[in-house]
Amino acid sequence: MAKAIHSMIRVLEEARSVEFYGRAFGLAVDTRLDFESFTLLYLRNAEADFELELTVNKGRTAPYDLGDGYGHLAFVVEDLEAEHARLTAAGYAPRKLVSFAPDGGEPIARFFFIADPDGYQIEVLQKAGRYR
């Protein structure tokens, strides 16, 4: 059976992105591969084997056009309100907390979204049900 191991996004400024993902989600650079025209950074934490690969194309100065095909990354946390408050205090401007109950019944998810320095959307979910 296949196993998901990483997702890749292109970022404009290495230090800014590494700092954001470290402070916001506890990800640290596990491996850095430096090539002539680009650098690959594999970020991870002790919570999971899955990695976020940041690709930094050297010499690029213009922000990436995220287009209309990108969806979002997702992280699960133990205490959604505490994480929202922590990220707000860090100056990252997370969006409002949402309780998602599509049929008007019990919520199936509680979450908020936050954007990284390059504009990639990240969903932060309360650990519960299928989100574990």
Q: How many domains does the chain have?
A: 2
Q: Are residues 76 and 127 in the same domain?
A: yes
Q: Are residues 41 and 5 in the same domain?
A: yes
The pLDDT, as a whole number, for residue 2 is: 65
- Catalytic residues, by residue number, are 123
Answer yes or no: is 104 within a domain.
Answer: yes
CB atoms within 10 A of CB 122: 20
Q: Are residues 54 and 78 in the same domain?
A: no
Domain boundary residue, one of 59, 87, 108: 59
Q: With contact defined as beta carbons under 8 Å apart, do 110 and 104 qualify?
A: no
pLDDT in tens, the chain (132 residues): 768 899 999 999 999 999 999 999 999 999 999 999 999 999 999 988 899 999 999 999 999 999 988 889 999 999 999 999 999 999 999 999 999 988 888 888 999 999 999 999 999 999 998 888
Residue-number span of the structural domain to which 101 is assigned = 71-132
pTM of the model: 0.88
Q: Are residues 86 and 29 in the same domain?
A: no
